[in-house]
Amino acid sequence: MQENNKTCIRIAKRRDAAAILAIYAPFVEQTAITFTLKVPTLGQVRQTMGDILRHYPYLVCEVDGKVVGFAYAYRVRPHAAFNWNAELTVYIDPRHHGHGIATALYTALFALLKAQGFCNLYAVITLPNEASIALHKHFGFEQNMVQKACGYKLGKWRDVLWMEYRINGAANPAIHGFPKPPGDLNVNDIQTALAMASALLMGTSVTKGAVVADGALDGVVAGDTFDDTSDNVVADGALDGVVAAESVLKSNTLGVAAVADGVVAAESVLTSNTDEVNSGAEFS
């Protein structure tokens, strides 16, 4: 990031839907990163955001007032026994690859999900993609299984690899119950998670209780609902001890992505200093 750029990681808002769709649409039309075959409508994106924000973190990276990347977690399966699991998604505007944006977004997601009480995170990667596999291994993901020829897009059958990560110090479901709803989370902890992620982009450090940029928490509201008639959305997650992924803190040059809602790919753009991975999600 250039020093004169105003950059922050913040909670996604309903009004971000158009910018999110603009980033996402080319991946639908031109790649197998997502198995979505038709670009969703703006209304569908907003609806999906509402569903996610009731239960999971949904973050955006903003540079000089423009959304240039987004990331969120989402359910793996609809059954209640899967509620401690989540799949992760990161998309970065290709014009902003190489700046560590995926790293910052992913770092915040780890922190928020851990604080909520999630235990297992998943990445789903189209094969072959050695760069993405190596990237996820760096963050502690392990290979689980390969689904053979499970998706057909752009004239080819696609194999996908499932990778998994068990959060260190994850909550005990027998003691803590289901992951916390957004309204139960501490705003100061959310601030710290967002400030820490933003600091990665700026090459600075942050301590617990740090103040985030103005507007970063504008989407945070109490309760467990999503108001589709306003710009307010529920914020998910907080920092629990200042963060999951110690490896992210050791090296802020890596970006990670995983798939939400199903099958798909992760293609990467590599530079000498930064690995950025975009990964697919279904908007339906």
87: which residues sit within 8 A by CB, 6+ positions away?
A: 73, 74, 75, 76, 121, 122, 123, 124, 258, 259, 260, 261
SS3 call for 76: coil
Q: Which domains does the chain have, with CATH numbers?
A: 7-279 (3.40.630.30)
- CA-only gyration radius of the chain, Å: 17
Q: Which helix (H) or strand (E) holds 175?
A: helix 173-176
What per-residue confidence (pLDDT) applies to 68?
97
Q: Identify the pLDDT of residue 258.
A: 33
Question: Cβ of 96: how many Cβ atoms within 10 Å?
Answer: 18
Residue 158's CB: how many other CB atoms inside 10 A?
Answer: 19
- pLDDT number for residue 100: 84
Tell me phi and psi for residue 248, to 5 degrees: -65, -40
- pTM of this structure: 0.75
Residue 62: which of 108, 3, 16, 22 has the closest Cα? 16
Max Cα–Cα distance, the chain, nearest Å: 50
Using an 8 Å Cβ cutoff, are 88 and 122 in contact? yes
Q: Which two tokens stand for residue 193?
A: 């998670």
**Predicted local distance difference test score (pLDDT) of residue 120:** 95
If we measure between CA atoms, which residue out of 201, 221, 200, 199 comes closest to residue 212? 199
Q: Encode pLDDT of 102-139 as tens digits.
A: 889 988 998 999 989 999 999 888 887 776 777 677 77
pLDDT at site 225: 30
> What residue ranges of the chain have pLDDT lower than 70?
1-5, 131, 135, 182-183, 204-284
d(CA 117, CA 268): 30
The SS3 call for residue 72 is strand
Task: Tell me which residue of 221, 223, 194, 226 sits closest to 208, measured CA to CA.
Answer: 194
